[in-house]
């Protein structure tokens, strides 16, 4: 069953809309969905005041597909805690997409602001464009557990602190990534097919980070281990060769950092340490 949402206005302030999930929409009529509460700035209002709601829901959340059209780049927390079903956004999206998501799929045909999949537990998020900072991350000053399951795929670039405090799951970035990829990482896998701005794996204690492009340098708290001809990621084989570093030794970490050898000739001096 498909439910279509279209904004009735151009949003000039953020809209907090954690109710936009298949779990919440399941079993509700259009009229009931329109009465769901959202925040527009500091004003409490109903979903129907901001969006035109069309289509038909289902009693089962796994059968609900939410389609969003129009300018929703200021709409936040879409897909919060969703456990099943589908959300498809045709355009750009605001902060906290898929926050604490446990299942289902979110597809964005555009760009997404920061905190995509924050504290995600399962499911799949796919972004056709770019993503901001803190993809799959934990929140500052709160829960120290970041992404603990599921898959996030970014087809464009991603910002800083990708996978901050990640515990499990897979993040793939087909473009470039900012600084501190996998900072405080405990487990899971991060693959950056493009370049990284550096400081990869800072304070990581476990998990795997793969960078297929260039990096400025390697943190001094990482130790060169060997050169691998290829890396296997969830059944996918990435041809190398890759330098394999382990660390972060400052945290007595056992994380694995794979860095493309052909893309980083300036790291050749490490080979004499193997």
Could you give the C-alpha distances from 24 to 46, 98, 146, in angstroms and in order? 14, 14, 24
27 part of a folded domain: no
266 part of a folded domain: yes
**Mean pLDDT score, 247-254:** 96
Residue located via tokens 């993809």: 135
Give pLDDT tens digits for 44-79: 999 999 999 999 888 889 999 999 999 999 999 999
244 part of a folded domain: yes
**How high is the mean pLDDT of the chain?**
96
**φ, ψ of residue 243 in degrees (nearest 5):** -75, 135
Give pLDDT tens digits for 150-171: 999 999 999 999 999 999 999 9
**Mean pLDDT score, 223-250:** 95
Give Dmax over CA atoms of the chain in angstroms.
70
6 part of a folded domain: no
Cross-strand partners of 232: 237
Compute the half-sphere exposure of residue 19: CA atoms within 13 Å on the CB side of its CA: 20
**Mean pLDDT score, 208-230:** 98
Q: 231 near 258, Cβ under 8 Å?
A: yes
227 part of a folded domain: yes
Residue 143 has pLDDT above 70, yes or no: no
Residue 2 has pLDDT above 90, yes or no: yes
42 part of a folded domain: no
Cross-strand partners of 124: 105, 151
Q: 177 near 199, Cβ under 8 Å?
A: no
Percent of the chain with pLDDT over 90: 93
**3-state per-residue secondary structure call for the chain:** CEEEEEECCCCCCCEECCCCCHHHHCCCCHHHHHCCEEEECCEEEEHHHHEEEEECCCCCHHHCEEEEECCECCEECCCCCCCCCEEEEECCECCCCCCCCCCCEEEECCCECCCCCCCCCCCEEEECCCECCCCCCCCCCCCCCCCEEEEEEECCCCCCCCCCCCCEEEEEECCCEEECCCCCCCCCEEEECCCEEECCCCCCCCCEEEECCCCCCCCCCCEEEEEEEEEEECCEEEEEEEEEEEECHHHCCCEEEEEECCCCHHHHHHHHHC
- Domain range holding 177? 114-273
Residue 31 has pLDDT above 90, yes or no: yes
**Mean pLDDT score, 218-236:** 95
Query: Would you state the structure tokens that stand for residue 97, as one six-digit string?
Result: 């997409």
Give pLDDT tens digits for 3-28: 999 999 999 999 999 999 999 999 99
Residue located via tokens 């803190």: 134
Q: Which of 125, 117, 128 is nearest to 157 (CA)?
A: 128
pTM given for the model: 0.96
Task: Give the chain's domain count.
Answer: 1
**Mean pLDDT score, 214-235:** 96
At 142 the pLDDT is 63
Give pLDDT tens digits for 93-112: 999 999 999 999 999 999 99
80 part of a folded domain: no
Percent of the chain with pLDDT over 70: 99
At 1 the pLDDT is 86
d(CA 271, CA 274): 5
**Mean pLDDT score, 78-101:** 98
261 part of a folded domain: yes
């Amino acid at each position: 069953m498909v439910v279509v949402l279209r904004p009735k206005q151009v949003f000039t302030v953020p809209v907090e809309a954690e109710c936009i999930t298949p779990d919440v929409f399941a079993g509700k009529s259009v009229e009931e969905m329109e009465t769901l509460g959202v925040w527009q700035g500091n004003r409490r209002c109903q979903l129907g005041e901001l969006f035109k709601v069309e289509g038909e829901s289902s009693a089962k959340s796994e059968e609900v597909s939410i389609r969003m059209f129009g300018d929703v780049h200021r709409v936040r927390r879409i897909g919060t805690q969703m456990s099943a079903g589908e959300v498809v956004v045709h355009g750009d999206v605001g902060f906290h997409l898929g926050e604490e998501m446990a299942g289902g799929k979110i597809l964005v045909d555009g760009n997404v602001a920061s905190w995509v999949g924050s504290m995600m537990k399962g499911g799949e998020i796919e972004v056709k464009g770019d993503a901001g900072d803190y993809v799959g991350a934990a929140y500052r000053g709160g829960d120290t557990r970041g992404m603990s399951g599921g898959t996030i795929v970014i087809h464009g670039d991603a910002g800083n602190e990708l996978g901050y405090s990640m515990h499990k799951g897979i993040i793939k970035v087909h473009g470039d990534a900012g600084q501190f990829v996998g900072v405080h990482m405990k487990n899971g896998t991060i693959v950056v097919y493009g370049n990284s701005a550096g400081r990869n794996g800072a304070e990581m204690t476990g998990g795997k980070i793969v960078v297929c492009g260039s990096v400025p340098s390697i943190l001094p708290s990482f130790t060169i281990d060997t050169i691998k001809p290829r890396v296997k990621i969830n059944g996918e084989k990435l041809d190398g060769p890759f330098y394999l570093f382990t660390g972060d030794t400052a945290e007595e970490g056992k994380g694995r950092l794979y860095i493309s050898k052909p893309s980083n000739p300036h790291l050749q001096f490490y080979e004499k340490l193997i």
